[in-house]
Structure 1
């Protein structure tokens, strides 16, 4: 069951000079200047790099020039001028941005919270919020952003390698990953056992694997995210 956090603000003395800068960028999208600056101060004081924006449109412009290799996450309000926070988040999903996001809003809206969580949002927090809750959430989202990016790069590498296979090599691979023996592959494709072995060796060489189990795992990974 989803829980909407509603707690009092906890003000803590912070010394920005003693806190190391954390890897990654936290985007903030909130049209309330005071709320935006307060959140920037909190996160920067705790060692985070922050990029604040007053509207979804301005944020999208900034995102176009961002380095996708740098882990990033998003804290956004739902009630924004122009494009709403949920509309922005939906657009990011459609454009396949690897950007964990959480909503911070001053208006309790269970239906909105449910919809956001169903679409993959990390959390839905109601103002006022606890400072330590926000910092913990930011760390978790940046960790997820880094993990998602690594998986994305691994998948791209797999797909690029698969593109190097010939039509016959792809057919051999499909048979092998379906559990066929070399003999069965030859029977299915009407080719000799020696030819199957040659194609199999080529497939494993092009994909950079030396074990059948690794070959199967690689193929399954590609199918899962296709």
Structure 2
């Protein structure tokens, strides 16, 4: 790593320390942790550094845009094994691997498991900062998608059983009369349930309702 004069590092947006995106660092080398902590802080993000995977796992992680700068070789759980664990638990947290050594199989394994970069020490500050910036943007989008999905799931849960049934049939392209035939209710009743379902789901048009159904998994898009 080339830890140059900090004023030469690319700076991120100025943010409040409590709301700034978090960059987690897990590396057992104290000199690397200290240098990365200073670099990340200067760039406008909030660094949280750990000497081991277990220390990192023991720390409660906030639901805020974040990424993880992770050394491959660690004293307890190694970086690749930690990555495997995090894929299921925190898919919204991109991982950037750093290592003093590496080989093709190792980097391929990391990238196939979802790592966004595999940097070999020494690397330049700008290379790391650019990668962190992209990771934070990816994390922000992932968190936004998760929040949107949770809101839709909450709205869907508020639908009555009949409203859910009508919604599930309407989005497949059936006409109100056909939906009524499937459910054994009148066309007028179908229209009433359909209207209430659309209002509760925040759908202004049938196309909106179809897109919502795809996001919820109620409808599979071909």
Q: When the two structures are superposed, what TM-score results if normalisation uses the length of structure 2?
A: 0.89
What residue is the counterpart of 1:124 in the other structure?
118
Q: For residues 58-87 of structure 1, give each alpha carbon's deviation from its aligned partner in whole angstroms, at most 9, with x where no partner exists.
A: 11112x2x321x211100011111111111
Whole-Å separation in 1 of the counterparts to 2:99 and 2:158? 48
1:141 Cα deviation from its structure 2 partner: 0.7
Aligned length: 214
| 1:61 matches 2:58 | yes
Q: When the two structures are superposed, what TM-score results if normalisation uses the length of structure 1?
A: 0.87
Matched ranges for 1:169-184 at <5 A: 169-184=163-178
- Residue 180 to residue 96, structure 1, CA distance change in 2 (3 Å): farther
Runs of 4+ in 1 over 4 A off after TM superposition: none
| 1:90 matches 2:84 | yes
What residue is the counterpart of 2:130 in the other structure?
136
1:197 Cα deviation from its structure 2 partner: 0.4
What residue is the counterpart of 1:14 in the other structure?
6
Contact 1:103 1:125 in 2 (8 A): yes
Whole-Å separation in 2 of the counterparts to 1:189 and 1:172? 8
Secondary structure at the residue paired with 1:125? strand
Contact 1:21 1:49 in 2 (8 A): no
1:30 Cα deviation from its structure 2 partner: 0.5
Whole-Å separation in 2 of the counterparts to 1:51 and 1:83? 18
Any gaps of 5 or more consecutive residues in structure 2? none
Any gaps of 5 or more consecutive residues in structure 1? 1-8
Q: For residues 138-167 of structure 1, give each alpha carbon's deviation from its aligned partner in whole angstroms, at most 9, with x where no partner exists.
A: 111111111111110000001111111122
| 1:204 matches 2:193 | no
| 1:148 matches 2:142 | yes
| 1:168 matches 2:168 | no
Whole-Å separation in 2 of the counterparts to 1:40 and 1:110? 28
1:110 Cα deviation from its structure 2 partner: 1.5
Contact 2:3 2:35 in 1 (8 A): no
State the Cα RMSD in Å.
2.2
- Residue 165 to residue 224, structure 1, CA distance change in 2 (3 Å): closer
